[in-house]
Structures are given as C-alpha cells and as structure tokens.
Chain A
Amino acid sequence: MSNIYQPDLMTITKIIQEAPGIKTFHLKFQDENVASNFSFQTGQFGEYSAFGAGESTFCIASSPTRPDHIECCFREVGKVTTALANLTEGDTIGFRGPYGNTFPLDDWRGKNLIFIGGGIALPPLRSVIWNCLDLREQDGRFGHISIVYGARSVQDLVYKREIEEWNQMENVTMVKTVDPGGETDDWDGHIGFVPHVLENDFKPDPENTVAIVCGPPIMIKFTFEALERLGFKQEQMVTTLENRMKCGLGKCGRCNIGSTYVCIDGPVFTATELAALPQEF
C-alpha cells in the first residue's frame, strides 16, 4: 500500500541566509533510488517537513536544468518554518512532491520574457529564470530576458548575489527596486513599488513578450493592471499562486478557488484563467 502522505527524506547540504528571517536550503535525497527517479519541472512545488512541527508548502526554487540538488527558500513566520529555520546543515527534512502544473515554457519559444517579483516571491521566479537562461544559452530559444524585482528594503532582497550576476549579464535587463524608505546610501536601484517602477520607469514593450508575475495577491493585481495599461493582453501575463495547502493532492479542501484546486490545476495560471475564476484569492 503506497502512502501518498509519506515524505522522502532529504539532507540539508547547505544553508544560505538570504535576508533577515529568510533562508535557502540546498537539499539532496538520502535514498539513491529516490534521487535517480526524481524529476520536476519549473513551477512545481513540494511539501517540506520539519519532523515534530509539520509540513509547509514551498515552490522548488532551483532550476530543473541544474539537477544536482533542489533548493527551497522560505521566510520564518509560523511553527513549521521556525522549526525548519532552526535546523542546521546535515539535518534531515521530509519532502513530498513535485506537485502541481508547470510554467508553459514551450509556449514562450521565440518570445521576450519579463519576470516580475516582489519580496519572498522571487524563489518561484528564480527557478524559471535560471531554467530559461540555461535553455537560451543552449539553443537561443527565448528572446530578451528582463527581471524586475523589488523588496521592502535593501536588506530584504533575496538572492542578492544572483541579482548582481543577472545585472552583469549582457542579454539580461535587471531592474531592481526597494520601497520608499527602504533604500541605503549606496543603493543603485530604483525607489518605488514594483508595479509603479514597471509602468513608469521600465515601460516594457508588449510586442512578442510574456510577463511572468509572482508576489502577494495585491501585488499581482496591481502589476496586472499596470501591464494592461502598458498594452499587455491577459494571455501575455502568467502568475503562480501560493494558496495555503496541506496535502498538495487535491483532497484537504484548502487551496480551492471555486472548483479550481491550486495544488492540482495550478499553481501556474494565466491572467485569462484567473479572470474566469471567482475573485477569491
């Protein structure tokens, strides 16, 4: 009898403190059979457990083009994330997944891509950003890649070293911003909320372009509105939702928006799909 609720065990091989209260884990499966049979696609998520505290839902923050290990990135907010944050390198966690649908990379061939994220919402985008950068490197399948990322303050930016790496890349436009008051003396990015900077400073051309947005629901809403004013159509806008989940298997009844279960039918949705749902997310 196979138990869908039983996680596989993973070792934390590396911990990175990304920002205050935010950590990245590098994870490797302890069982070699599980490791060799595991695969995922960008956009998918998992249930990560700290034994004794329970499970939390995070996206897989690394790219499937870099299969050496998987990564997750989380903020310490509740019981489980605090227990996870208290673990050290070499410790064991549980993982169930991958679950959910994926970013539609095949639909994006030949197109320019703009990734737009806020705060702790960069991890899901970071998976698909590296996925697209690596695939473009291989066969040039995507056009120009832009990244618009903001956080409350400079210290709250996650993946700071990778933001610099993307900034240095010739065929990537990196637009970084912090909320007013969150800047430091040597801050060289924008100051302002992500949707505002996107619309008034960056002003992307919608022609042959897809915008991939991730952030809290209010940011998704304002960013979609800004994109529409810039001339983007709903089918050019994609997002990933982070509804509360327990099972990830379409059974526990928590993540649904109407009859759409985010864990099974999502987490990736186009703006067209979201507009057709009851507005409750």
Chain B
Amino acid sequence: MKTATLNKSDLGKCIDLLVQADLRVIAPRLQPRLDEDGPDAIDVLTFTEVDSGEGHQVGEGLLPLNGVKEFLFAKHEPLFAYEKRGKKIEIIPVHHEYPQTVIIGVRPCDAASIASLESVFSDANAGFEDPFFTERRSRTTFITYSCTAPDASCFCTSVNLSPDSAKGSDLHLTEIGDGRLHVEVISKAGEAVAKQLQDLLEGEGDQAAREKAGAEVSEKLTRIRDSAPIMDWLMDTANFDDEMWQRLGEKCIGCGACTFACPTCHCFDIVDENKGSKGYRVKFWDSCQFDHFTLHASGHNPRDWQYKRYRNRFNCKFKIYPEKFETPGCVGCGRCIRACPVNLDITEYMAEVAHKAANPSAMKADQDSE
C-alpha cells in the first residue's frame, strides 16, 4: 500500500486539480436549506458538485446531510421515455450522463455503505444488474476522510467499523496533527486520483501517527452497542413476534425520514410520469415505512401496523442485508437517529436485542407472565 502526506490546507487545491483534470467533483459544502434568501435560510453541510475548491468543507463538520447514496442511486431518474402513436407505442431510451466522478470528504460510514448498495443493484443479486447504478458506480472514485469528532448519535464501532476505517475507500485521508494528513492509496482508482494530486503529495505517510489518531477518535464514541448477537436472535422466527417490536415501535409515525437519510436503504418505486401522449417511466426513492408500501390490491396488507414496518426496517439492516446480500445493512452513521422526529432510536432496539439474547430464559418468563 502506497502512502504519502498532504497539507490539510491544500485540500482546496486538490479539488482544483481534480476539476482541472475534467473530473466531476462532489465535495461537502455549506448549502442553504429551506428558504434560500429568506429569514429561515440555514446552512447545512451537503455533498454537492463543485467547480473549485473554494468554500469546501472537506474534513469539517461531521456528516453531510445527504450522504453519497444519491450520486449512485438517483433520488429520481427516468428509465426510458415512451410516446403513444395511435395503437402503437414507441420506447425511446433516455440519455444519461455518467461523467467520471470523484467524491471527496466521504466519511468512513458512508464509504462502507457503497458495497451494500452494490450488493443489491449489481448482477450479483439474482443476475439482474441495474445499469443506472453500476454505470455510475464504475465511474465514481471515493476519497474518504477519517472522522475527528463523532457526535452522540454515531455508533460505527458497534457495527464493526471505526471512525478511521478505509472500507469502501479508494484514497483515504487521516489527520495526523500539525495540519498534516496521512494519505493511503487503497485501490487502482485511488492510485489514478493520487497521480492527479502528485504535486501536492509528499514523501511517505506516518502509519503510526495515523493508527494513533484513529484509536483516539474511536475512544470518543459514546454510543456503544453489542451487535454480535443480533443476527442470530433475528434468525429465530419465534422472535419475530417478540413483545419488543410493538413496545418500541409504537411511537413511529411512519414518516420515512430514517429511510431517506439512510445510506443503505435501497427501496424504490416505479411510476409513469405522463403528459399527453408522451411520458417517462421513472424510478425514485420509496420507503418501507409508508403504509401503502406493501398494500395488496385486495386491501390485504402484510405489514398492516407501523411497528411491523419498523420491524422490517430493523430486520433489513441486521438480518436481510447480511443474510441475503452478504453485506452490512447498518454502518452506524446515526443519520436515522438524528433525523427521527419522535426520537425512535435504532440503537435502542440493538440494546434490547443484545439484552434478550443474553437473557433468553428471563425474557421468556416475563412474556409468559404477561
């Protein structure tokens, strides 16, 4: 593995070099949300396409609101166009641009989620390849940046990750003090990007300082859960009807915020957007938390209560992803905790499960006495 060092103050220059190399560059920036010019405008850390290094927030703040998911799995995208001509239909392919892209400043949790999305959308899943995802994925390089200041919602160390993990990264940056960054080339794509930045890279990295920095940040995480017993507990179908699901899930209002914020949530809908005789068939983000998501035409709904919909979400993260797609379903970014309007907390479920798994007979006695 090749390493180097980089001045943190040169990150803006890095972005400039990448832009000059005709790459599309996505970086965190402070973007106004809500009413852009009005009194309610607030600046929010957001991944956005940039044309220079000016105003970049790489390595600043914690997690951009939007994550990197939308740059691979579009929030809304036409799959094809169609036009009706009498009794005939013409299908017109849509031309999507797939520019060579670098996303810089990606946090380790977001980077780890890419393999999960890929396991759903690539042909490794049942032999069906979503070409829109894979075309983008194959042209996107991720420059990751170890976390320095996790917040109270972060729990990556509880799901086998760490604030300095290089999983899913192409080129990995870690602050090692004195305004210096330790640079690690992780993949071929990362090597190509490092070549573009070679004038700014110096000598060799400092592996010891990097590891020390990572360990120090890991110590800062306060939300620690034991996720090891969760999958086995969920595999026992008897626990599908555990009292916990209804008790903890009762307050969920089904808004779906957790699923839209989540870097691994992959559910989508397909609809026709039509005007006159022409239209597009469109794929866009959907949420398993919505009440009509699984509603049958007959009126029957397998997930007819909100707690069942949240049970599905938890199962998806800790059982379906690892069992079916063999990738992690939860990367511990904490976005779902921060986004939830009613403080539903996925780590509360994790703690309950760990407790129940550790005390099976006590739990059973509790339920029997109810």
A contact set with B: CB distance below 8 Å? 1-7, 9, 11, 49, 51-55, 75, 77-78, 81, 90-92, 94, 216-218, 242-244, 246-247, 249-259, 261, 264, 276-281
Tell me if B87 counts as interface (CB < 8 A to partner A): yes
**A4 touching B268 by the CB < 8 A rule?**
no
Knowing that A54-B270, A243-B294, A253-B286 are A-B contacts, what are 9 other residue pairs whose CB atoms are under 8 Å apart, sorted by A's residue number?
A4-B130, A51-B82, A52-B272, A92-B87, A92-B88, A94-B89, A216-B298, A246-B270, A261-B126
Evaluate whether A249 and B84 lie within 8 angstroms (CB atoms) in the complex, with A1-B135, A5-B281 already known.
no
Please, which residues of chain B bring their CB within 8 A of the CB of A91? 87
Contact A252 to B268, CB < 8 A, known contacts A3-B79, A4-B130, A217-B300: yes
Docked complex Cα distance between A1 and B126 (Å): 18
Within 8 A of A (CB), among B302-324: 302-303, 308, 312, 315-316, 319-320, 323-324
In the complex, chain A residues whose CB is within 8 Å of the CB of B93: 3, 6
Contact A254 B272 (CB under 8 A): no
A253 neighbours in B (Cβ, 8 Å): 266-268, 286, 288, 316
* CB <8 Å contact, A5 and B283: yes
Instruction: Specify which chain A residues have a CB less than 8 angstroms from the CB of B55 in the assembled complex.
Output: none
The B interface is mostly helix, strand or loop, or mixed, namely mixed
Q: Do A249 and B88 form a contact, CB below 8 Å, given A3-B80, A52-B272? A: no
- A92 partner, pick from B89, B279, B294, beta carbons under 8 A: B89
**A6 contacts B296, C-beta separation under 8 Å:** no
CA distance A55 to B270 in the complex (A): 8
The 4 lowest CB-CB distance pairs between A and B, nearest first, are A253-B267, A278-B240, A249-B128, A52-B274
Q: Does B131 contact A (CB under 8 A)?
A: yes
B121 touches A (CB below 8 Å): yes
Q: Which residue of A lies closest to B296 (CB)?
A: A244
Closest Cβ–Cβ distance, residue A34 to chain B (whole Å): 12
Is there contact, CB below 8 Å, between B131 and A251? no
Residues in A neighbouring B131, C-beta threshold 8 A: 1-4
Least distance between B113 CB and chain A CB atoms (Å): 15
Whether B224 sits at the interface, judged by CB under 8 Å, is no
Question: Which of B64-118 touch A at CB < 8 Å?
Answer: 79-80, 82, 84, 87-89, 91, 93
Q: Which A residues touch B324, using CB under 8 A?
A: 259, 261
CB of B271 within 8 A of chain A? Answer: yes
Determine the residue in chain B with the shortest Cβ distance to A77: B297
When distances are taken between beta carbons in the complex, the residues of chain B under 8 Å from A54 are 270-272, 281
**CB of A85 to closest CB in B, whole Å:** 13
Closest residue to B295 on the A side, CB-wise? A244
- Complex-state Cα separation, A277 to B303, whole angstroms: 14
Which A residues touch B129, using CB under 8 A?
2, 4
| Contact pick for B320, options A75, A256, A279, CB 8 Å | A256
The answer to whether B300 touches A216, judged by C-beta atoms less than 8 angstroms apart, is yes
Residue positions of B touching A, CB distance < 8 A: 79-80, 82, 84, 87-89, 91, 93, 120-121, 125-126, 128-131, 135, 237, 240-241, 266-272, 274, 279, 281, 283, 286, 288, 293-298, 300, 302-303, 308, 312, 315-316, 319-320, 323-324
Asked whether A251 lies within 8 Å of B320 as measured between CB atoms, the reply is no
Known: A53-B272, A253-B316, A254-B293. A6 touches B323 (CB 8 A): no
Distance, CA A55 to CA B268, complexed state (A): 14
Partner of B125 from the list A2, A78, A251 (CB cut-off 8 Å) is A251
* Complex contact A258–B320 (CB within 8 A): yes
Q: How far is the CA of A258 from the CA of B238 in the complex (A)?
A: 13
Inter-chain CA distance A218–B300, complex, in Å, is 9
Q: Which residues of chain A have C-beta atoms less than 8 A from B89's C-beta?
A: 9, 51, 92, 94
How far is the CB of B145 from the nearest CB of chain A, in Å?
30
A252 to B316, CA, bound (A): 13
Nearest chain-A residue to B322 (Cβ)?
A259
Q: How distant is the Cα of A281 from the Cα of B303 in the complex, in angstroms?
A: 8
Contact A280 B303 (CB under 8 A): yes
Are the C-beta atoms of B268 and A246 separated by less than 8 Å?
yes
**Do A280 and B288 have beta carbons less than 8 Å apart?**
no
Contact A252 B302 (CB under 8 A): no
Query: Does B293 lie within 8 Å of A5, measured CB to CB?
Result: no
- Closest Cβ neighbor of A7 among chain B residues: B91
Give the chain A neighbours of B84 by CB distance below 8 A. 51-52
Residues of A within 8 Å of B300, CB to CB, are 216-218
Neighbouring A residues of B80 by C-beta, 8 Å: 3, 5-6
Q: Is the CB of B315 within 8 A of A75?
A: no
Select one of B237, B286, B308, B315 contacting A252, CB under 8 A.
B286
Of A78, A217, A251, A256, the contact of B268 (CB 8 Å cutoff): A251
Q: How far is the CA of A91 from the CA of B85 in the complex (A)?
A: 10
* Bound-state Cα–Cα, A276 to B237, Å: 8
Tell me the complex Cα distance, A189–B308, Å.
41
Point out the residues of chain B lying under 8 angstroms from A81, CB to CB. Answer: 297
Q: How far is the CA of A244 from the CA of B266 in the complex (A)?
A: 16
Report the separation of the CA atoms of residues A48 and B365 in the bound assembly, to the nearest whole angstrom: 51
Bound: A242/B297 CA distance, A: 10
For the complex formed, measure the closest distance between the CB of B122 and the CB atoms of chain A, giving whole angstroms: 10
Please judge, given known A-B contacts A53-B272, A92-B87, A246-B268, whether A280 and B296 are in contact too, CB under 8 Å.
Answer: no
A sample of 5 cross-chain residue pairs with beta-carbon separation below 8 angstroms, ordered by A number, consists of A9-B91, A75-B297, A92-B89, A243-B294, A258-B320
Kindly state the separation between the CA atoms of A253 and B270 in the bound complex, as whole angstroms.
Answer: 12
> Who on chain B is nearest to A218 by CB?
B300
Known: A2-B131, A259-B320. A251 touches B295 (CB 8 A): no
CB distance from A144 to the nearest CB of B (A): 31
A264 contacts across to B, CB distance below 8 A? 126
> Please, how many angstroms separate the alpha-carbon atoms of A94 and B89 in the complex?
9
